[in-house]
Structure 1
């Protein structure tokens, strides 16, 4: 094999390696957010959504406010399947179910490591149509009187769209 052909092969191998490296970097580079996402599914449609607000659990004044809100089309025939990642499920989290008359909204608190998925009917016989779901990560806070209560330090929201 001639000397120039060997050099050409070396150059081609180096260029191919560099191209593969740049391609791998482009496919795996940081998308700007490593915040958890929830997902909601109903009747063949799914939505993944990042947080509406996400605060530092130690300093609730240190927040990111991307204000993401998902939207999912629903009907009365098919429930919503809500899924949270383990990063949410390993902590205490709250599920708010919002109905047409917001005074009828309900709240369920899940203990750490107990639930990663919840099935939610889109119509409640007493409350009516479900219009949204909200997932909140909870932390304990102490008020100026020394009283402890839970407060959300992160929140995800999915609005339900009816035909």
Structure 2
């Protein structure tokens, strides 16, 4: 191989590498800042919602607070089908079900990689009408007394509207 051929080959490889790098950057530049969304579906209608608050898991004082809240019309016949993306489901997450009397609210914690969708009846025989659902991403924190407890570092909220 002549010296000119080797030089041309090096130029082609460098240009191809630069092109691949620019292409990868162009494809991923907007996805890094997009926060996960949850979705809720009932009676033929879906709502997708971003987080109400989203904090850095390593520094819970560093937060984005878009205060986004979804709204979904419900009835007593059709359950709500809640879906979370893998970005949420691969971590421990908590589902809060809020009822008319908030003292009757319930909490379920899902272990990582176990659930991406949950079906929730809109009426509970003991608790009454469901008025909202909240999804929280959890992290362990140490409280002032030294005890470890879970705390949300991100939260999504859907308000349920009754006719």
User: Tell me, which stretches of 5 or more residues in structure 2 are unaligned?
Assistant: 1-25
Deviations 1:115-147, CA, capped at 9 Å, x for gaps: 000000000000000000000000000012210
1:104-143 superposed matches below 5 A: 104-143=104-143
Shift of 1:30: 3.4
Partners of 1:31 and 1:69 lie apart in 2 by 21
Q: When the two structures are aligned, how many residues end up with a matched partner?
A: 137
Partner in structure 2 of residue 156 of structure 1: 156
Partner of 1:88: helix, strand, or coil?
helix
Query: 2-side partners of 1:74 and 1:29: how far apart?
Result: 38
- 1:88-116 CA distances to partner (integer Å, 9 max, x unpaired)? 00000000000000000000000000000
Question: 1: CA distance between counterparts of 2:46 and 2:72?
Answer: 7
How far apart, CA to CA, are the structure 1 residues paired with 2:108 and 2:46? Answer: 22
Task: Give me the TM-score of the superposition, normalised by structure 2.
Answer: 0.81
Runs (5+) with no aligned partner, structure 1: 1-24
- Corresponding residue for residue 23 of structure 2: none
Alignment of 1:73-88 (within 5 A): 73-88=73-88
Segments of 4+ moved more than 4 angstroms = none
Equivalents in 2 of 1:31, 1:70: separation in Å? Answer: 22
Q: TM-score with structure 1 length normalisation?
A: 0.81
Match in the other structure for 2:95: 95
- Mapped to 2, the partners of 1:121 and 1:96 lie a distance apart of 13
